Structure 1
Amino acid sequence: MGILGLTTFMDNNTWIFEKVNLHDTKVVIDGNNLYHFIFFKYKVDFVHGGDYDQFAIRIKEFFSILHACNIQPYVVIDGGYEQDDRKFQTIHARMQQRLEMAMRLAKGHQEKLMPILAYETFRSVLLEIGVPFAVCDFEADKEIGKLANQFECPVLSNDSDFYILPLTAGFIPFGSVELVQKSRKRSGKKGFHYLSAKCYNVNNFAKYFRALEMDALPLFAAILGNDFVERNTFQSFFSSPGFRSCRGQLPFNFDERQTKMRKLIIWLMSLHTYDDGIDRILSTASTSGEKKSMLSAITKTKEAYSANETSCVFSLYAFFAKNITQPHIPESIRGYNGSSIPSWFICCHRQGNLPQKSLDIITLHRTFLRTQLEDPESKSSYHCCIKLRKYLYGILLSDDVAVLEKHNRLSAERKCGVEEYDRDGDHLGRNVVLPDDIAGCYGNLPKLSEIPDLPSPDREQLFRFVLDIPALHINRLSKELEIVLGIILFWIKNVQQNVKEYHLRSVLLCLIMLKIESYDTHDATGYEHDLIDEAILSMPVESKNEVSARLLRYCQSKENQIDSHLIHGFAQLQTCLLTAIHLNYILLCPFPNPCISRIFSGTFLYNFCLDLQRRRSPDLFIYDLLSKDSDLANVYQGLYDALMTNSVSERIFVDSMNKKRIKPHEAKNKKNEVRESGGKKQNKVRIPAKEEKKTKTRPRDVVNCSLTNRFNALTSCDESADENEEN
């Protein structure tokens, strides 16, 4: 949630905190806050779409430090939004703000934007390193507070709501933790490692409110403003003579802009009883409607900040301490049309084995597609995978829409579809997307309640059909690599614009680079080995290090102006990855879920793609880059050929590769040329006249000879072209 100005206030009054040495303890961690904190603290690159490989490394480092100090973390993550829609306006405003930030970032302005696959990366790492975590049904703050009190341990977060919640062992902001382990020896005992931190105890602040003490804090939060309160709710109160006349000395430090907070604290300190305060506030309302809004805001806020009283039947304590998932579903959690939600779905949701916001699609028939860094002049990057989302919605809404079918009340409105909020130009547009419940010749999609009863081969067949994954005929192809290649193929076939052949080449090189990087960092993948692994493992150490060094130079961020047109192609790949992973979740993972940190590195993709566009012979360049002494070049070419053979590349790609740059004074003498499609002037290469027609129809023929001979031929051609240019 968050309370306006409270974090700044606490930062200016750190004397309220107590210094602590954190070790040999449990901690309950606000998961959503944590992955934002790690990403931005360590300045992981987001300008190029997200360096998820570096993000994964930083997450592991964080938990490694906790482990060294014998700190046992329990990570709790937000679930869906409440069905009463009380936070809709707040969420909508934040998503519009995110869109505006993305657009400014695309134009070269300084902004911070969390990439859209960050949560999937975070979740994947938690599973990999065995950190216990759970996803709440709805917002997690109260459940985090309750669990921390049951464990008698502190909460770690940056959410200002925890300054108000009554936490027995206190609240430690991430920013107050020195993430460098220190050592201390105990007399006659073994030494220990610890982290220096500052802990906030709510009593240290509440004691200044004398008569009200703890009761004053929810009232303080309501009047200042939070996610449940519109900013003008208490405007009459702030304008009243009783509030404006507040004067007095306080032991706190305030910013110049915090005059309102200063007066509010003085006013709260003057109260004798809680009811007296409520009466004074309501007496300033000029209408009964305004009085009702004030009282509603106060009541909702008080309920939100009572940590030990929650309506949730899902016990995090039982989940973590006793491994009980409690499939019982309260009556309050139902589909938008009143349908029951299958217990398997709720169980998997709580275990973090489903898309984080999939519950919203069922209970609210609504989803916000978070804008990412992309081309402001192009269609939203989510547009290319709408077909996939329709199938996803078809399964998720199947039981809920069936409720309407019984009463013949089907329509093209939200009751039968999903209300999507997505970028439409420079604003957040609304569109109701009707689900597909029939997948072509596959037939009817299974209902959500039927998914667990489907045999794994049937679920795999459905996934293959929906993504249109062909038989790739690649030796030593693991299922993890197969699903990644399948998603890349889906991207190629459904991309709207802004994607060229060097985008695909860059993606394949990125897969190889990240594989090598995982071996360099001794990062066990936990997946079946494939042809890329075997090629890397067969390389001499010196050759592997040389290839690694050549590839890693593209991972260095540059401060130049970003080409949002180029990035838009990779943004579309991210939306395809996200949606396909979500579908795989819903089908209970017939394929191993792709590990984003081993697929997508935004800085590498951007820099390599930019460099590739300048190369006269990209194939030869890549061949030299991957080392002539290894099988990596053959592996790359095999993957590339398989994807091109199974794509509609002649229609999708603008073939800007292997074109020879022509000197200006020679342009008039070049009669037999192949031009890159499109209206702009492009690079050219001479070809025999009789081959011109064939080249236009099949620009990517695969030569039936060894890869070495093929590259030797390229070298000869390139040298001949250079000689012709010199003549």
Structure 2
Amino acid sequence: MGVQGLWSLLEGNNRIYQEFQFRDSKLVVDGSSLAHHIYNMANLDQNHGGEYLAFQAEVQTFFKALDNCQIKAYVVIDGSSGPSDIKLNHRMDLQRTRVKKIPDALKGGKMDFYALFSTTVFEQTLNNMKVPLVRCIGQADGQLAALASEWRCPVLSTDTDFYIYDLPEGVLPLDHFQWDSVIASGARSYISCKRYTTSSFCSLFNIDHQLLPVFATLAGNDYVNRRDVEWARYVPAGSPTMNFRTSSLVGLLSWLGARKDETTEDTLTAAMALIPNIGQQARTEMWTEVQNAMLEYRLPSSSLQRFFSEATVLPLPAEILSWVPEWVRASVARGDLGYFSTIQDYDILLHRRKFLRIQVECSHLQSSNLTSRPIRRVMYGLLLEQGGPEVEEWDRDGLGLVSVKARPLVQGAAQKLRLDSVPQGNHAVRLRVCLETLGVEEEALEGVPDHLRLPVAVTWYWLRRASPEKRLLRALLMVMVQGELTRLTGGTTGR
């Protein structure tokens, strides 16, 4: 995510960064970046389902380190796409890339597959530790940056989009944030890190602050692809040898530096004129696209400060505000619903679309997501009601990305439930909806301890829908039995 190639450019110009001893401060954390970073840096399994206990321990260690330095973290996590849907093409490209990586991942390569339940474990761990957490509606970058600006504290992230916002206390790049080696200084401790500010960037490259969004957009970000302009021809004479991407960025910055006294509009007009072989209509469309992308770098008024200080519910886009109950909005924002909740993804509400997670599995077999489609159809039905528009699910077929229409389904006991009253709904009805969705009769669970009824029912569903090999069933049953023995004996069963 972020501005393409900017990280490499900055790593080659260490004068950008300020050495910083960080303590006694608020910190706004890009939760999506942090979760990925911790998981990757711990070198945990990515190709066989994930290592969640080890990941949980790493997350706990990270936030304990912040606490030891009197750093108060506020974690902000991306939702899905917002109403504008401006990142759709970028998200589609990411999905296609993940699908293409499956064969190499099956051979044991580390291909940056994010373990399926990592986000859920991350959110649950933070909730258990009472770390303030919010899941935004749509993209979180603007809200996160606005909160850091209002509180005058840094942002912790790996996303170079934050390098474009003019933040008073700048950005702490996660790759230079040495949380695993807290340094004691008398009675106080601190974390050694580096800090980035737009003022140091603009000073080094001699460009005006107001041109940073122009730079990010023309360079190529999550919204606009790099344009067919040979920016490298503007690299100053005598500059050291650089790769193509870095030389393009340096050339673009040099070109912008020569226009630091021009208005943003004049600069954009000059940039558009450099694009060869383009008609007037295409040029007009491109102008609109670039301007829309630049708007993403304007700091909005933040709704997060009141969420954290007063526990107010985040506002929703007008398109869905009238029919999404408050309990859903509050639960989503707090990260209470977990990965399996279709409601967690506002793409369903805003665009009738869901990008299903791409997993490491044999690509010549059907996607494992097909196994859970009946469950998702019931959840779509509860959310969108029977007869509503079909949901477009994006999943893999072989090594390609395809869309399949899933019809919302409301039948049986589910017809007695309404989304706005689910938490207060009759317990027997809610249980019946769950069992009907899994295809299990309540009588079949007689004699099964209450806390094991859901795992047993889900296992029964899995057996019928996925037809797993017997050895996989035996492995699952052994884990369940071992877990029950540990629960009863306090982990003293021995071998």
TM-score, structure 2 as length reference: 0.91
* Corresponding letter in the other structure for 2:135: V
| The one of 369, 376, 382 aligned to 1:389 | 376
- Superposed, which structure 2 residues align to 1:664-683 within 5 Å? none
Q: Does 1:39 align with 2:28?
A: no
| The one of 308, 318, 321 aligned to 2:309 | 321
Q: Does 1:276 align with 2:272?
A: no
Q: Secondary structure at the match of 2:349?
A: helix
| The one of 344, 350, 374 aligned to 2:327 | 344
1:535 aligned residue: 489
Identity among equivalent pairs (%)? 26
Against the structure 1 CA distance between its residues 22 and 245, is the aligned structure 2 distance closer, same or farther, given a 3 Å change threshold?
closer
Q: Does 1:288 align with 2:280?
A: yes
Cα distance in 1 for residues equivalent to 2:131 and 2:80: 22
Structure 1 residues not aligned, in runs of 5+: 186-190, 402-409, 516-529, 548-626, 628-727
| The one of 361, 370, 392 aligned to 1:374 | 361
Against the structure 1 CA distance between its residues 244 and 122, is the aligned structure 2 distance closer, same or farther, given a 3 Å change threshold?
closer
Asked whether the equivalents of residues 22 and 195 of structure 1 are also in contact (C-alpha less than 8 Å), the reply is: yes
Displacement of 1:457 after TM fit? 4.1
Cα offsets for 1:29-57 (capped at 9, x unmatched): 10111110011000011222211121111
Asked whether the equivalents of residues 80 and 139 of structure 1 are also in contact (C-alpha less than 8 Å), the reply is: yes
Cα offsets for 1:428-474 (capped at 9, x unmatched): 111101111113xx362523234244134432332233224545345
Against the structure 1 CA distance between its residues 110 and 44, is the aligned structure 2 distance closer, same or farther, given a 3 Å change threshold?
closer
Against the structure 1 CA distance between its residues 247 and 385, is the aligned structure 2 distance closer, same or farther, given a 3 Å change threshold?
closer
2:211 aligned residue: 216
Equivalences, count = 484
Cα distance in 1 for residues equivalent to 2:240 and 2:289: 27
Displacement of 1:488 after TM fit? 2.2
1:130 aligned residue: 130
2:297 aligned residue: 305
Displacement of 1:90 after TM fit? 1.0
Asked whether the equivalents of residues 113 and 372 of structure 1 are also in contact (C-alpha less than 8 Å), the reply is: yes
1:508 aligned residue: 477
1:142 aligned residue: 142
* Corresponding letter in the other structure for 2:445: L
Cα distance in 2 for residues equivalent to 1:443 and 1:299: 46
Q: Does 1:434 align with 2:430?
A: no
- Superposed, which structure 2 residues align to 1:132-171 within 5 Å? 132-171=132-171
- More displaced stretch, 10-19 vs 286-295: 286-295
Cα distance in 1 for residues equivalent to 2:194 and 2:204: 20
Asked whether the equivalents of residues 394 and 445 of structure 1 are also in contact (C-alpha less than 8 Å), the reply is: no
Against the structure 1 CA distance between its residues 209 and 290, is the aligned structure 2 distance closer, same or farther, given a 3 Å change threshold?
farther
Asked whether the equivalents of residues 101 and 112 of structure 1 are also in contact (C-alpha less than 8 Å), the reply is: no
Q: Secondary structure at the match of 1:203?
A: helix
Cα offsets for 1:183-217 (capped at 9, x unmatched): 011xxxxx11111000111111123455x521111
Against the structure 1 CA distance between its residues 436 and 445, is the aligned structure 2 distance closer, same or farther, given a 3 Å change threshold?
farther
Cα offsets for 1:388-409 (capped at 9, x unmatched): 11111111111xx6xxxxxxxx
* Corresponding letter in the other structure for 1:534: L
Cα distance in 1 for residues equivalent to 2:328 and 2:400: 34
Cα distance in 2 for residues equivalent to 1:213 and 1:126: 40
Against the structure 1 CA distance between its residues 466 and 257, is the aligned structure 2 distance closer, same or farther, given a 3 Å change threshold?
closer
Cα distance in 2 for residues equivalent to 1:124 and 1:181: 25
Cα distance in 2 for residues equivalent to 1:85 and 1:250: 43
Against the structure 1 CA distance between its residues 360 and 445, is the aligned structure 2 distance closer, same or farther, given a 3 Å change threshold?
farther
1:482 aligned residue: 453
Asked whether the equivalents of residues 157 and 173 of structure 2 are also in contact (C-alpha less than 8 Å), the reply is: yes
* Corresponding letter in the other structure for 1:273: E
Q: Does 1:463 align with 2:434?
A: yes
Q: Secondary structure at the match of 1:376?
A: coil
Q: Does 1:229 align with 2:224?
A: yes
1:53 aligned residue: 53
| The one of 320, 323, 329 aligned to 1:334 | 320
Cα offsets for 1:363-390 (capped at 9, x unmatched): 1110011111112221111111221111
TM-align CA RMSD: 2.4
Cα distance in 2 for residues equivalent to 1:122 and 1:341: 25
Against the structure 1 CA distance between its residues 248 and 366, is the aligned structure 2 distance closer, same or farther, given a 3 Å change threshold?
same
* Corresponding letter in the other structure for 2:478: L
Q: Rg larger in 1 or in 2?
A: 1
Q: Secondary structure at the match of 2:224?
A: coil
Against the structure 1 CA distance between its residues 512 and 34, is the aligned structure 2 distance closer, same or farther, given a 3 Å change threshold?
farther
